[in-house]
Structure 1
Amino acid sequence: MTIENAAAPNPPILSYIKDLPNICSLAGLGCSLLAIYFLIIGMYPAAMIGMIWAVGFDWADGLIARKMKGRTGDDRAFGGTLDLLIDIVSYGVTPAILILSYADFSTVFLPVVFVTLVFGAIRLSYFSTFGLSGDAKYTGLAIDNNSIILVFVVMFAGYFERSTFAIILAVCGLCLAGLNVSQIKTPKLSGNPVNVVILAVYTLGVTLFYGWSMLQT
């Protein structure tokens, strides 16, 4: 076999860390990790900030990837898989821990969070397999909307008893999970520059709201 015909070696695993969209994805994973940590110790305002910034970085990685020139097919494939794996943490595991945390990790809520995790995994697998529909829309509610909605819902936690609000979160989680795997068609919000600006404003608003609430305690 000649040198010309020899297969090129695969790039080193860690070489993909240098890719800017992947850096954004990993930053989002870091935000989700912080959110999970703060949920476990009961610092909900800090957790909500972590959850919404995870969405922000998730949207940013796709936006940057579409603007970059010279990315190979392998770069796109690796980035897509990395994004998918991080999504199950950010939009599946983190909301599940949010529900469990408000429920004081009661085993009664385990079936609820199991359903949300199963539906989330199925939703992501379906999108990974089939992508957008023929009219460039998602089939089912995109799973990043779960965090966007939940951080808003938690703003009203102070108006309810903790046990009551845990049930409200569980119901919200189940409703969102049902929408994730439904046949409804929803637009790809992250692909629209106007929606990116709206998310940026929303993220800053959420950060200010919860940051202020932390200062009051």
Structure 2
Amino acid sequence: MTTGIEETQKLQPTIISYVKDLPNVCSLAGLACTILAIYFSIIGVYYAAMIGMIWAVAFDWADGLVARRMKGRTGSDRIFGGQLDLLIDIVSYGVAPAILLLSYGAFDPIFLPAAFIVLAASAIRLSYFSTFGLSDESKYTGLALDNNNILLVSIFLLESVLPSEIFTVILYVSALGLAALNVSQIKTPKFSGNPRNVFLLAFYTLGITGIYAWKLL
């Protein structure tokens, strides 16, 4: 006789089956870009790290766009995809910027507090969002974390024109400023939900990729 537990186990999909879901493929592609960004940050190839960081955002936005357009996704598909997205966000927008900051600071202990604040702010921001979601005005409370990467890759353009000592201070202060905005009470729109903004991000991503690829030559 089949028990209720056995029936539940039969109905429960396998873990790896969710990899076939196209939005999750986009999420994992973004994670791959983040791993590359972390790797290049550690070895000091910062221009390549910037490319990885902005493509992580592009794939993050793509997974939401694809998910909204797909039909036939089950409730568990949406829940799993949302959880996967949140977990990848902490790596892409918390761990990666923290490691970038530490690496550019030559792993000097003075950069540890800022790296912790960046990572802690991203964890708090995501926990708050997973608890309360969007505000009544359908806006984020606090600066959405994807903006961290978008702004950092722009700020890093100054690295080649400013003395290293000055740029290090700018990067340090910028990282702390973004962390403060992440956990602030400001209301920001959901940029990734607008198709026009997706087009603008695609243009920005290709432009940033071209600039940093040229700098790598």
TM-score range, shorter-chain basis?
over 0.9
Shift of 1:3: 8.2
Do the aligned partners of 1:21 and 1:64 also contact (CA within 8 Å) in 2?
yes
Question: Does structure 2 conserve the Cα–Cα contact (< 8 Å) formed by 1:25 and 1:58?
Answer: yes
Question: Which residue of the other structure, out of 174, 177, 191, is the alignment partner of 2:193?
Answer: 191
Scaled by the length of structure 2, what TM-score is found? 0.95
Q: Report the Cα distance in structure 2 between the residues aligned to 1:128 and 1:208, rounded to whole angstroms.
A: 35
> Which amino acid in the other structure matches residue 88 of structure 2?
I
Structure 2: gaps spanning 5 or more residues: none
Q: Out of 135, 138, 156, which is 2:137 matched to?
A: 135
Q: Which residue of 1 aligns with 2:211?
A: 209
The CA deviation string for residues 9-54 of structure 1, in whole angstroms up to 9 with x for no partner, is: 3111100000000000000000000001011111111110000000
TM-score normalised by L of structure 1: 0.95
Q: Secondary structure at the match of 1:186?
A: strand
Question: In structure 2, what residue type is equivalent to 1:19?
Answer: D
- Displacement of 1:163 after TM fit? 3.0
Match of residue 168 from structure 1: 170
Partners of 2:124 and 2:165 in 1: how far apart?
Answer: 29
**C-alpha separation in 2, matches of 1:74 and 1:82:** 12
1:35 paired residue number:
37
C-alpha RMSD over aligned residues = 1.5
The residue type equivalent to 2:30 in the other structure is G
For residues 75-127 of structure 1, give each alpha carbon's deviation from its aligned partner in whole angstroms, at most 9, with x where no partner exists.
00100010000000000011111111111111111001101111110001111
Query: How far apart are residue 2 of structure 1 and its match?
Result: 7.1
From 113, 116, 126, the counterpart of 1:114: 116
Contact 1:52 1:147 in 2 (8 A): yes
**Which one-letter code corresponds to 1:14 in the other structure?**
I
| Distance in 1, Cα, partners of 2:99 & 2:169 | 14
Helix, strand or coil at the partner of 2:140 = strand
CA displacement at 1:158 relative to structure 2 = 1.5
Q: CA offsets, 1:131-182, max 9 Å, x none?
A: 1011110001000000000000000102222233222111001100110011
Moved more, 4-13 or 132-141: 4-13
- 1:23 match: 25
2:179 alignment partner in structure 1: 177
1:198 and 1:134 map into 2 onto residues whose CA distance is 26
| Fraction of identical pairs, as percent | 65
Between 1:181-190 and 1:153-162, the stretch displaced more is: 153-162
1:93 to 86, 92, 95: 95
Give the corresponding residue for 2:148.
Answer: 146
Q: Indicate conservation of the 8 Å contact 1:140/1:184, yes or no.
A: yes
More off after superposition, 24-33 vs 3-12: 3-12
Structure 1 residues not aligned, in runs of 5+:
none
Give runs of ≥4 in structure 1 deviating > 6 Å.
1-5
Classify the secondary structure of the residue corresponding to 2:11.
Answer: coil
